[in-house]
Amino acid sequence: MNILGHFINGQAADGGTRTADVYNPALGQISKQVALADKATVETAIEVASSAFQAWRDTPTLKRAQVMFRYKQLLEQHADALCRLITEENGKTLSDARGELLRGIEVVEYACGAPEFLKGEHSRNVGPAIDSWSEFQAIGVVVGITPFNFPSMVPMWMFPMAIACGNTFVLKPSEKVPSAALLMAELLTEAGLPDGVFNVVNGDKEAVDTLLADPRVEAISFVGSTPIAKYIYATGTANGKRVQALGGAKNHAIIMPDADVDNAVNALMGAAYGSCGERCMAISVAVCVGDEVADIVVDKLQAQLSQLKVGKGTDADAEMGPLITAQHLQKVRGYVDLGVEEGASLVVDGRELEVSGAQQGYFLGGCLFDRVTADMRIYREEIFGPVLCVVRVENQQAAMDLINAHEFGNGTCIFTRDGEAARYFSDKIQVGMVGINVPLPVPVAYHSFGGWKSSLFGDLHAYGPDAVRFYTRRKMITQRWPSGGVREGAQFAFPSMK
């Protein structure tokens, strides 16, 4: 069976005696294996990245940007191959994989602007013959630890900006979906990136803990569940590293009485069931203002769910694929069982779904709960599957109070025709990413992505302008060149222009 390794110093590399099985979720079958890096292998990747740092840091910014321009072109040329690998290992539909890849490429495009966003600032004559300026300087070896649900996009939230800023990078992707990262590494080398600047180590907790502890690592970016995000943040910062750790979510959509309900229901279908609900931005709670709105929304969702096409990601007409693993399938099914026990009304039950020709796949049909309450675990906890909960409230303020009281604050949206209601919502809601009639308000590459509360640990968001701040240190330089032979005596007062 094919065993995937790592990518270190510009080439494929072996390392580690342990392996993990990689599954095709649509078939429920092992498709390949991946080597799990041991401590020595990870340390080799860090050493290679550390050795490559100084030369890459000193490479003119325009030349670094030119690598990104070529990389963007290669990603587009190899898009079909990348999407097939994503679908084979993650299970999502090919169209969803392409959408993911395109959003990742947008970050590469933004990274091409490094000569502009790294210019710094300059002030002449801040004092007599004194000039001051700032520089954004690379910080060294940085690390990305990424989840299974976006094998190309989430890594590209990190490494293009880090590399364009002059750092070297070690990526530890999810061992469930290793192939896309390895191909992206090969394409970076083909784009002209020097050996050692970008490295990939596949592995599990042993690899993660090695990256967290090594003093040569300066910064860590992470996306995953909240418990692991807390661990990454606490351990990384305790070891003196800069850390941004994006965690879980429980994203709400408010449907107001004046909303375009057909538009809202269409949006909810994609936002709740796209990617099989395995998105940190997935809408998992629909908060309907008033029973009349709730009844209409539930009826329309039920009708659309009866037509939802679930199948292998390679099927041309598939709208939703399988969950990632058998274990996760059982976990999500367990939440559906729990919701019934808790007294929620299971309007649509996807637990008995079978997909023709893929009976061993990890499929679960779309599930819909009505009359969910805030004390239920299916409301409080992140399910990360195709399960949508409908909560009924009396007014907009009650809906917002519900959202603001929740542990997570990643994304939210409101469906309304009322500008005043929308403005009040966007101003007062305690969530990091807000949509107005937009169900998945994922920022474009020249803004930054991140939630509030237990959805983010660290001060800076992912990609966009925050990435420049995260992957660089600002250095302020003030200089004076005395002229005319003038010499001043010692000045004991703090310098001031007053």
Contacts of 307 (CB under 8 A, 6+ apart): none
Which residues touch 52 (CB under 8 Å, ≥6 apart)? 168, 194, 195, 196, 197
Region at 220 (left for phi over 0; alpha for psi -120 to 50; beta for the rest): beta
Structure tokens at 190: 């083909």
The residue among 150, 172, 61, 37 whose CA lies nearest residue 99 is: 150
How many C-beta atoms surround the C-beta of residue 240 within 10 A?
A: 9
Q: CA 284 to CA 268: how far, in whole Å? A: 9
What is the spatial distance between Cα 287 and Cα 92, in angstroms, rounded to a whole number? 27
Paired tokens of 122:
């300059």
Helix axis angle for 205-213 and 226-238, nearest 10°, is 30
Residue 131 CB burial class (10 angstroms; 0-12, 13-18, ≥19)? middle
Q: Please report, as a single letter, which amino acid is at residue 202.
A: N
> Could you tell me the strand order of the sheet in which 29-36 lies?
3-4, 29-36, 18-24
Q: 112, 165, 276, 280: which is the annotated catalytic residue?
A: 280
- Residue 280 catalytic? yes
Q: Hey, what are 138's tokens?
A: 């690379």
In one-letter notation, the amino acid at residue 38 is: D
Query: Can you spell out the DSSP letters for 340-407?
Result: HHHT-EEEE--TT---TT-TTS-----EEEES--TTSHHHHS---SSEEEEEEESSHHHHHHHHHTSS
How would DSSP label each residue in 60-93?
-HHHHHHHHHHHHHHHHHTHHHHHHHHHHHH---
DSSP label of 290: S
Rounded to 5 degrees, what are φ and ψ at 143?
Answer: -125, 145
Judge contact between 273 and 433, C-beta under 8 A: no
**Beta-sheet strand order (sheet of 198-200):** 11-13, 6-8, 198-200, 168-172, 141-145, 217-223, 242-246, 456-457
CA distance 406 to 454: 9
Note every long-range contact of 188-191, with CB atoms under 8 Å and residues 24 or more positions apart, other chains counting: 188/67, 188/71, 189/10, 189/11, 190/70, 190/74, 191/67, 191/68, 191/70, 191/71, 191/74
Active-site residues, by number, are: 280
